[in-house]
């Protein structure tokens, strides 16, 4: 039997605000336990939450970025459950009236054969909520500690419609979403710190069947690798179970990377009743159209638009453009380097080629590049105007990378990289090479094109790599034709 996989993702994105969503305590990561927890985070009696405007602004930004409806009125609810890291015994979240409704995300998915297709999925909603604290094991021997530094950090929970059809699509969506929240500046997206984590709802059904199968929800997947592996395991498990005459039981499961399997933590029967109700300590959240427009005016160009501009205005191929917009700092680097150039493709090739290769080899991010975007731009200006050739450009790039200097024109001078475009000098060099290599000339004349390249190589060597290669080619051809 052929099976169809159905997946919906719920993603928790930590919003990069200075303070928490309902208190003034710092939302920064990594401090000593409980030093970033104020009376509100500790749920001391008599404390009142006050909503963080910046968290709301970030939710609006997200809503606009995915072309969703930003609700003029939404409501905060209490979601009750008991857990040691949740001192109030309820989490403030949004239930019936979320701040962001609908919207869509587009992304590229790779087939197993390497070809790609574009997919767009609809989002159900995105709502604001607070994070819980953390249970800490291993600090006090034999006891569990509670660290409330994370309690109350702002989260945006983003929920998709069940429109994903494979683990590859789920991962491609999650990656696109991850890049988007960083691109629009609402989250640092740091997955190692748990600032972007997914719950995957997975079901299977025989191909052609209309109704969805029973789903399981795999919680807290904080890497794309685990997201993929957990879904793949779950799909195999469910198909195996149904094929043997069994039934999938709706349940919450956890993925165990050590054994590459998912394990049930609770079934729907004993799932919690959260007793949601509107939090009486908080007024409904009212967002005016003026505020929404203000936020819209402050939005950066969105990735899809940047992509179209790179392709249509700069003439960059789709594959290259996709690579250049895969990460906003990379896009910015490219745009800065290309700013002074007429032919932006030169910068695109350099950023994708030399720059990325060197960064990868040195395990550096684009933000840490020893050659700034402006410096690369200056190098490429000199390459474009014929002052230096490709080899010279590489030499200047390396020199700046190795901190041998930081001014492009000075380096071209001191390293003697000015290209020889003087026809007389090039002719003289070629004449010498031809006289010294009669055998190669013979070979070329008997039809061996390889010999031509060898003669070009000799000439370039004779000029210490500084001859204009195009001119060398042209003059050499003319002389050999005589
Ligand atoms: P809950 O609030 O109980 O988690 P929701 O109806 O809000 O349930 O759905 C949560 C997520 O599960 C959504 O992303 C949704 O698309 C997805 N989902 C719902 N039904 C299915 C199904 N049968 N198979 C896979 N995913 C599903
Ligand atoms: Mg859920």
121-167: per-residue pLDDT in tens?
A: 999 999 999 999 999 988 888 899 999 999 999 999 999 999 999 99
pLDDT at residue 270 tops 90: no
- Tell me, what's the pLDDT at 464? 86
Q: Domain check: are 316 and 354 in the same one?
A: yes
Q: Distance between CA atoms of 68 and 64, rounded to whole angstroms? A: 6
- How many angstroms is it from 255 CA to the middle of ligand 1? 18
417-433: per-residue pLDDT in tens?
A: 988 888 888 999 999 99
- How many angstroms is it from 200 CA to the middle of ligand 1? 9
Q: Distance between CA atoms of 34 and 137, rounded to whole angstroms? A: 15
- Tell me, what's the pLDDT at 269? 67
- Tell me, what's the pLDDT at 419? 83
Q: Distance between CA atoms of 376 and 383, rounded to whole angstroms? A: 10
Q: Distance between CA atoms of 62 and 157, rounded to whole angstroms? A: 11
Q: Domain check: are 370 and 395 in the same one?
A: yes
* Beta carbons of 13 and 195 less than 8 angstroms apart: yes
Ligand closest in space to the Cα of 274:
1
Q: Domain check: are 331 and 186 in the same one?
A: no
Q: Domain check: are 51 and 113 in the same one?
A: yes
Q: Domain check: are 55 and 144 in the same one?
A: yes
Average pLDDT over residues 24-31: 94
* Beta carbons of 73 and 284 less than 8 angstroms apart: yes
Choose the final residue of a domain: 269, 291, 313.
291
CATH number at residue 443: 1.10.10.410
Q: Domain check: are 82 and 227 in the same one?
A: yes
Q: Distance between CA atoms of 481 and 160, rounded to whole angstroms? A: 68
- Tell me, what's the pLDDT at 423? 84
189-244: per-residue pLDDT in tens?
A: 999 999 999 999 999 999 999 999 999 999 999 999 999 999 999 999 999 999 99
Segments of 299-408 assigned E as strands: none
Q: Which atom of ligand 1 is nearest to the CA of 159?
A: 14
| The two structure tokens encoding residue 201 | 């709802």
Q: Distance between CA atoms of 4 and 265, rounded to whole angstroms? A: 25
The protein residue whose alpha carbon is closest to atom 17 in ligand 1 is 8
| The two structure tokens encoding residue 180 | 């988007």
Q: Domain check: are 440 and 316 in the same one?
A: no
How far is the CA of 373 from the CAs of 101, 172, 258, 325, 330, in angstroms?
39, 29, 42, 15, 10
How far is the CA of 459 from the CAs of 98, 235, 259, in angstroms?
70, 62, 61
Mean pLDDT score of the chain: 95
Choose the final residue of a domain: 394, 414, 434.
414
Q: Domain check: are 41 and 131 in the same one?
A: yes
- How many angstroms is it from 8 CA to the middle of ligand 1? 6
Q: Answer whether residue 26 is part of any domain.
A: yes
Q: Answer whether residue 16 is part of any domain.
A: yes
Q: Answer whether residue 296 is part of any domain.
A: no
Choose the final residue of a domain: 291, 319, 349.
291
Contacts of 456 (CB under 8 A, 6+ apart): 469, 472, 473, 476
- pLDDT band of residue 173 (cuts 50, 70, 90) is very high
Pocket lining for ligand 1, CB < 6 angstroms: 6-10, 159-162, 201-203, 212, 215
Torsions phi, psi of 354, nearest 5? -55, -50
The protein residue whose alpha carbon is closest to atom 7 in ligand 1 is 159
417-473: per-residue pLDDT in tens?
A: 988 888 888 999 999 999 999 999 999 999 888 999 999 999 999 988 888 888 899
Q: Answer whether residue 462 is part of any domain.
A: yes
Within the chain, what is the greatest distance between any pair of CA atoms?
A: 98
Q: Domain check: are 247 and 352 in the same one?
A: no
- How many angstroms is it from 324 CA to the middle of ligand 2? 35
Query: Which one, of 73, 67, 61, lies nearest residue 98 by Cα?
Result: 73
pLDDT at residue 32 tops 80: yes
**pLDDT > 90 in the chain, percent:** 90
Q: Distance between CA atoms of 137 and 202, rounded to whole angstroms? A: 31
Q: Work out how many domains the chain is built from and give that number.
A: 3
Instruction: Look up the domain containing 475 and give its range.
Output: 423-480
Q: Which atom of ligand 1 is nearest to the CA of 10?
A: 14
Q: Answer whether residue 298 is part of any domain.
A: no
Q: Domain check: are 334 and 224 in the same one?
A: no
SS3 of residue 419 by DSSP = coil
Segments of 55-103 assigned E as strands: 69-70, 73-74, 77-80, 90-93, 100-101
Q: Distance between CA atoms of 277 and 390, rounded to whole angstroms? A: 67
Q: Scanning the structure block, which residue is given the tokens 């700013």?
A: 339
Ligand 1 probe mutation, 162, 231, 252, most atoms within 8 A of CB: 162
Q: Distance between CA atoms of 318 and 39, rounded to whole angstroms? A: 53
Segments of 71-192 assigned E as strands: 73-74, 77-80, 90-93, 100-101, 104-110, 116-130, 134-137, 144-147, 154-160
Query: Which is it for the CA torsion 382, 383, 386, 392, positive or negative?
Result: positive
Q: Scanning the structure block, which residue is given the tokens 């380096």?
A: 411
Residue 308, CB half-sphere, CA atoms under 13 Å: how many? 4
Q: Domain check: are 314 and 185 in the same one?
A: no
Query: Which one, of 102, 81, 104, 105, lies nearest residue 93 by Cα?
Result: 81
- pLDDT band of residue 1 (cuts 50, 70, 90) is confident
Q: Answer whether residue 367 is part of any domain.
A: yes
- Tell me, what's the pLDDT at 237? 97
- Tell me, what's the pLDDT at 339? 96
* Beta carbons of 13 and 56 less than 8 angstroms apart: no
Q: What is the pTM (predicted TM-score) of this model?
A: 0.87
- End-to-end CA gap in the chain: 73
- pLDDT band of residue 482 (cuts 50, 70, 90) is confident
Give CA angle at 379 (375, 380), nearest 5°. 115
* Beta carbons of 146 and 134 less than 8 angstroms apart: yes
| The two structure tokens encoding residue 474 | 């042209």
| The two structure tokens encoding residue 150 | 């994370």
12-22: per-residue pLDDT in tens?
A: 999 999 999 99
382-397: per-residue pLDDT in tens?
A: 999 989 999 999 999 9
Q: Domain check: are 208 and 267 in the same one?
A: yes
pLDDT at residue 39 tops 90: yes
């Amino acid at each position: 039997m052929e099976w169809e996989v159905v997946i919906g993702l719920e993603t928790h994105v930590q919003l990069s605000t200075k303070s928490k969503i309902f208190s003034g305590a710092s939302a920064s990561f990594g401090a000593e336990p409980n030093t970033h927890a104020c009376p509100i985070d500790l749920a001391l009696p008599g404390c009142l939450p006050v909503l963080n405007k910046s968290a709301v602004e970030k939710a609006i930004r997200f809503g606009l970025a995915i072309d969703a409806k930003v609700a003029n009125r939404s409501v905060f609810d209490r979601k009750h459950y008991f857990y040691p890291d949740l001192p109030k015994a309820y989490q403030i979240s949004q239930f019936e009236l979320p701040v962001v409704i609908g919207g869509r995300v587009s992304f590229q998915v790779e087939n197993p054969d390497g070809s790609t297709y574009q997919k767009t999925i609809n989002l159900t909603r995105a709502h604001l909520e607070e994070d819980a604290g953390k249970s800490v094991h291993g600090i006090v021997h034999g006891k569990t500690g509670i660290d409330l530094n994370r309690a109350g950090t702002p989260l945006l929970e983003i929920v998709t419609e069940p429109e994903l059809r494979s683990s590859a699509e789920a991962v491609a969506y999650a990656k696109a979403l991850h890049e988007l929240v960083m691109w629009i500046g609402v989250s640092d997206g740091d997955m190692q710190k748990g600032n972007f984590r997914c719950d995957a709802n997975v079901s299977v059904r025989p191909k052609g069947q209309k109704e969805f199968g029973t789903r399981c929800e795999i919680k807290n997947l904080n890497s794309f690798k685990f997201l993929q592996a957990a879904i793949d395991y779950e799909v195999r498990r469910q198909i195996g179970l149904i094929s043997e005459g069994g039934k999938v039981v709706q349940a919450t499961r956890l993925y165990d990377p050590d054994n590459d399997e998912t394990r049930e933590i609770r079934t729907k029967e004993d799932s919690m009743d959260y007793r949601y109700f509107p939090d009486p300590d908080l007024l409904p959240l009212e967002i005016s159209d003026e505020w929404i427009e203000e936020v819209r005016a402050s939005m950066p160009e969105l990735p899809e638009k940047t992509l179209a501009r790179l392709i249509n205005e700069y003439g960059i191929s789709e594959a290259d453009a996709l690579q250049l917009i895969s990460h906003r700092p990379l896009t910015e680097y490219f745009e800065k380097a290309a700013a002074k150039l007429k032919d932006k493709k030169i910068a695109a090739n350099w950023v994708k080629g030399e720059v990325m290769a060197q960064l990868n080899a040195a395990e550096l991010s684009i933000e840490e590049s020893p050659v700034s975007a402006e410096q690369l731009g200056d190098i490429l200006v000199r390459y474009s105007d014929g002052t230096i050739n490709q080899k010279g450009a590489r030499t200047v790039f390396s020199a700046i990378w190795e901190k041998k200097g930081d001014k492009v024109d000075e380096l071209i001078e001191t390293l003697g990289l000015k290209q020889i475009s003087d026809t007389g000098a090039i002719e003289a060099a070629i004449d010498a090479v031809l006289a010294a290599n009669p055998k190669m000339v013979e070979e070329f004349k008997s039809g061996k094109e390889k010999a031509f390249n060898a003669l070009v190589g000799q000439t370039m060597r004779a000029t210490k790599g500084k001859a204009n290669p195009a001119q060398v080619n042209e003059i050499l051809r003319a002389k050999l034709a005589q």
